[in-house]
Amino acid sequence: MSGDARSSAFEIELRLLLEAIFLRFHYDFRSYSMASLRRRVTAALSALGCETVSALQEKILHQPETFTALLQYLTVQVSDMFRDPAFFLAFRQHVVPELATYPSPRVWIAGASSGEEVYTVAIILAEEGLLDRALLYATDINPDAIAKAKAGVYAEERIPTFAANHRAAGGKQPFERYYTSAYGHAAFDRKLRDRVVFADHSLATDSVFAEVQAVTCRNVLIYFDRTLQERAVGLFRDALSRRGFLGLGAMESLQLTKQSSAFEPFLPELKWYRRS
């Protein structure tokens, strides 16, 4: 069999798998980036002991509990707290002062995964004296990730990176005061999540649930195809108040979306945009 034929067999199986997942579990990965899905599903095959994607499809349909394991491969990405410190320094210096003009500013962290970015935003708002009257929505499609985000417990070995990033992002307090260490883990202060609503929400299938003054959605759109990117950015457009802020990942841009007219550059080199 030639390489090309083998590739297309894989792609056919992959599309069928995504269709099966949608029909059976109502998760819609059909508009995800195929290049990334291909790698993730290939990794899942060996981990779940399947020779082919068709075998994996059979397994999740007939042993639905396997789907939870597959979902981890399809969705989870680990991010560091204050990843891209310059982005969060800009948030602190230029976005937070604007948020402070609202009586109860709301921030939506879309694709919050295991919560690193939620604690990042909460720490900045706390240091700027805004957390007590703010409300954060942290959403993701993966219930296991949301559970981790709620727990706020991370491997202690990750703390030096988090702390260095926090400093580089203009951190005002010693980072140690935000967590307690035990048995190789760091548990973050529960007060940081008092003002956080964690929720199951899909940018692919759900709609807008609240009006917010800022959205951060970083390194999530890169996993979507252009159709789904349009949908997600459309949700942000509809959720944001006039003059609200949108922050994206370093490699993401509104340049190729049709919604670019709904936004204006705020600090475009740092991926901050503003609802026009």
Partner 1 sequence: MVPPLLSRPRETELVVVGASAGAVDALGELLPALPADARVPFVVVVHVPPSKPSLLVDLFSSKCALAVRQPFDKQPIEPGVWIAAPDYHLLVERDRTFAVSIDEPVNYSRPSIDVLFESAAVVYGRALAAVVLTGASRDGAAGARKVRAEGGLVLVQDPSEAEVDVMPRAAIEESTPELVAPLAQLAQALRDISRGRP
Positions that interact with partner 1 (CB under 8 A): 2-4, 7, 11, 33-36, 38-40, 77-79, 219, 221-223, 226, 229, 249-253, 255-256
Cβ closest to partner 1, residue 213 vs residue 257 = 257
We find the least distance from the C-beta atom of residue 10 to partner 1, in angstroms, to be: 8
We find the least distance from the C-beta atom of residue 7 to partner 1, in angstroms, to be: 5
Cβ closest to partner 1, residue 178 vs residue 223 = 223
104, exposed or middle or buried, with CB in 10 Å at 0-12, 13-18, 19+?
Answer: exposed
Cβ closest to partner 1, residue 185 vs residue 268 = 268
We find the least distance from the C-beta atom of residue 106 to partner 1, in angstroms, to be: 26
We find the least distance from the C-beta atom of residue 247 to partner 1, in angstroms, to be: 15
Cβ closest to partner 1, residue 199 vs residue 222 = 222
We find the least distance from the C-beta atom of residue 60 to partner 1, in angstroms, to be: 21
We find the least distance from the C-beta atom of residue 101 to partner 1, in angstroms, to be: 32
Measured distance CA(255)–CA(81) in Å, rounded: 27
The pair of three-digit structure tokens given for residue 244, joined into one six-digit string: 């609200």
Measured distance CA(46)–CA(73) in Å, rounded: 11
Measured distance CA(213)–CA(15) in Å, rounded: 37
Contact present, 208 and 239 (Cβ < 8 Å) = yes
Cβ closest to partner 1, residue 16 vs residue 182 = 16
Contact present, 161 and 120 (Cβ < 8 Å) = no
DSSP H/E element including 265: strand 263-267
Helices (H), the chain: 3-25, 34-47, 53-62, 65-75, 85-90, 96-99, 116-127, 143-151, 159-168, 226-239
Cβ closest to partner 1, residue 151 vs residue 222 = 222
180-183 contact pairs (CB < 8 A, 24+): 181/156
